[in-house]
Amino acid sequence: MSQTVSYQPEPTLLAAIDFYFDFSSPYGYLASELIDALGTRFGRQVNWHSVLLGAAFKATGATLPVRQPLKSDYFLHDFARSARFHAVPFVQPMKFPLSTQHAARAFLWLGERDPLAARGLAHAIFRAYFTAGRDIDNIDTVLDIAASLGHTRAPLAEALSSVALKERLHIEVDRALARGVFGSPFFIVDGETFWGVDRLPQLERWLEEGSF
């Protein structure tokens, strides 16, 4: 009995989806609750990147919609409606928007050690802000959230007050800007860019068909 050796093609290594978000972005929060399932469905890893929108807004000359007359009421309404549309729990925080550098630095620091744990922290921060209205601008709140997930307070607290981590986040944000990221959520896959949670249907089509 002869033994045939069949040709086994290498499994195609699909490029990851880069997911950029700012912790104060409601649509970024919605995307954070949806993107991993999409990645899993299409065998794509999702790499999470927390960015600071302030830098991007300075680069584009944009102002936050909630700071623009006429638009602010619409957007506050749309945040909550979009959350219901996607069946994601959402409560508009009173303090909005807010600075997210502590949250972004904590995410970056943990991600350098344990990317999966960092994703857990990102979910916890987003949910603390967008379902419980917690003040994630406060460094102690960020430390409390991390501690509630079992992370030791002291090393993170030390990192959050270090210049080195601040610098590394700065580099990350610059890198994102250089890739064309100007809003949250922002997705890049196969060199294709998608801005907004409302582009998930197009991202999905892209993952399905390779291109369209």
- Between residues 57 and 123, which has the closer beta carbon with respect to a copy of itself? 57
Q: Which residues bind a copy of itself (CB under 8 A)?
A: 56, 59-63, 68-71, 73-74, 77-78, 81-82, 84-85, 177, 180, 182, 193, 195-196, 198-199, 201-202, 205, 212
Nearest approach, Cβ of 11 to a copy of itself (angstroms)?
28
Q: How far is the CB of 146 from a copy of itself (least distance, A)?
A: 32
51, 31 in Cβ contact below 8 A?
no
Helical spans, DSSP H, in the chain:
26-32, 35-41, 53-60, 71-85, 101-113, 115-130, 139-148, 153-160, 163-178, 200-209
Residue closer to a copy of itself (CB basis): 94 or 178: 178
Least distance from a copy of itself to the Cβ atom of residue 191, Å: 11
Nearer to a copy of itself by Cβ, of 71 and 168: the residue is 71
Cβ proximity to a copy of itself, 74 vs 153, nearer residue: 74
Task: Find the shortest distance in angstroms from Cβ 76 to a copy of itself.
Answer: 12
Cα separation of 75 and 66, whole Å?
7
Given the structure tokens 């344990």, which residue do they identify? 114
Residue 48 has φ and ψ, to the nearest 5°, of: -90, 135
Q: Which two tokens stand for residue 117?
A: 């744990």
